[in-house]
Structure 1
Amino acid sequence: MPPQPPPAGPAVPVLPDDGSGAAFPPPESGTIFLSDVMGRDRSINVFAGFTRDFAPITNRFDDGTQNSTVLAPLNSAIEALPRKPWEDPEDYHTLGADVYEGSDGQERAQQNLQRFVEAHIVPVSPWPEKLKASAMAGAGEIWWEIKDGKRVIQPGNIEVVGVASTVANGQLWIIKGVRNYAS
């Protein structure tokens, strides 16, 4: 199983989502990238730690030419999952209880965890309301809309807590749930 991420730095305030669909805050000045802000908010430090495990993701977050909208689930949403993000019920069904043991099992767990992380990264930013896009993990289109006065990710009606950061290569959104990341 992947190691637990180290504690993140001091928390920064999240910009509340007023549901108005108003323009997002302007990007921070200079060359601040997603990689610079991922660990700032303690409420998402579990997800932020997962992102550091994968070179394609960390490289993307460091690249000023690749914009992304990161949909970072709250720690509480990840902890509430019926299984760990690196576990897949199909793996247990096919390969048994020891599916994540040994080097093959650890590689399988890493692939599953990468799929989980990539299901929460949209390679579009800014991301206009109702624009259908695919997350890095693929598996269908996603979009956001204002519903009952709140910004929600679809499909799934996952409420957006707010925008934690707007930087040169994208935005970091904090969400109350977890996207369906099953294969």
Structure 2
Amino acid sequence: MSKNQNQDPIISDVLPKNRLINIFASLTRQFDSVESKLNDAHSNVTVLAPRNSAIQDLPRKPWQNPEDYERFGEVGAYEGDDGQERAKKNLERFVQAHVVTGSPWGEGEEGVTLAGDKLRWEKVGDKIYIQPGNVEVDSIAEQVSNGEVWILNGVINYR
């Protein structure tokens, strides 16, 4: 439930309502570091929400990191409390990599994600692409008082 006291909708009100991005929307609610930003009517963000299909088509799950397998082995990477903690941190990083602090976010402006990564976007013809990675923006789905929700046809590099 939203902590919004105003009448104007905020990101946390509209994000869960879009069925194209409900996997990502559910992930945002697992982490206070993200959820608190989306619930804050005075802190503008641009949410770069991957479509469900983009998350489902990933070669590995968002909580998996090849480095964990190298260090701890295929079986030990996510077993036990330590493994669960690694998986949680990886997933939080994935979500944070898709939230840019600040909105509106102008073309060519450097945006910084909650994960600390620097991104920018450019328009090519009638399409918008997030760089680095050349991730296509499907649409800008919502513009609300504390930011915007952009639907992506891919995922931002989160490693």
1:79 counterpart residue number? 56
Partners of 1:157 and 1:145 in 2: CA distance: 9
Aligned positions, number:
153
Amino acid at match of 1:105: G
Q: 2:34 aligns with which of 57, 60, 68?
A: 57
- How far is 1:156 from its partner? 1.2
What TM-score do the two structures reach when normalised by structure 2? 0.93
Partners of 1:80 and 1:167 in 2: CA distance: 29
Amino acid at match of 1:128: G
Dislocated runs of 4+, deviation >4 Å: none
2:142 counterpart residue number? 165
SS in 2 for 1:39: helix
Q: 2:11 aligns with which of 34, 59, 63?
A: 34
1:17 counterpart residue number? none
1:114 counterpart residue number? 92
Partners of 1:103 and 1:79 in 2: CA distance: 26
2:3 counterpart residue number? none
Question: Root-mean-square deviation (CA), in Å?
Answer: 1.2
Partners of 2:33 and 2:157 in 1: CA distance: 21
Aligned residue runs from structure 1 range 12-23, under 5 A: none
- How far is 1:49 from its partner? 0.7
Amino acid at match of 1:158: V
1:3 counterpart residue number? none
Contact 1:67 1:124 in 2 (8 A): yes
- How far is 1:31 from its partner? 2.5
What TM-score do the two structures reach when normalised by structure 1? 0.81
SS in 1 for 2:123: strand
Contact 1:30 1:168 in 2 (8 A): no
Instruction: Report the structure, 1 or 2, having the larger helix content.
Output: 2
Q: 2:24 aligns with which of 44, 47, 56?
A: 47
2:128 counterpart residue number? 151
- How far is 1:126 from its partner? 0.4
> Greater relative contact order: 1 or 2 (C-alpha under 8 angstroms, separation 6 or more)?
1
1:93 counterpart residue number? 70
Higher deviation after alignment, 119-128 or 95-104: 95-104
2:111 counterpart residue number? 133
Partners of 1:60 and 1:148 in 2: CA distance: 32
Partners of 1:32 and 1:103 in 2: CA distance: 38
SS in 2 for 1:122: strand
Q: Which runs of 5+ in 1 are unaligned?
A: 1-28
Partners of 1:59 and 1:138 in 2: CA distance: 17
Contact 1:156 1:179 in 2 (8 A): yes
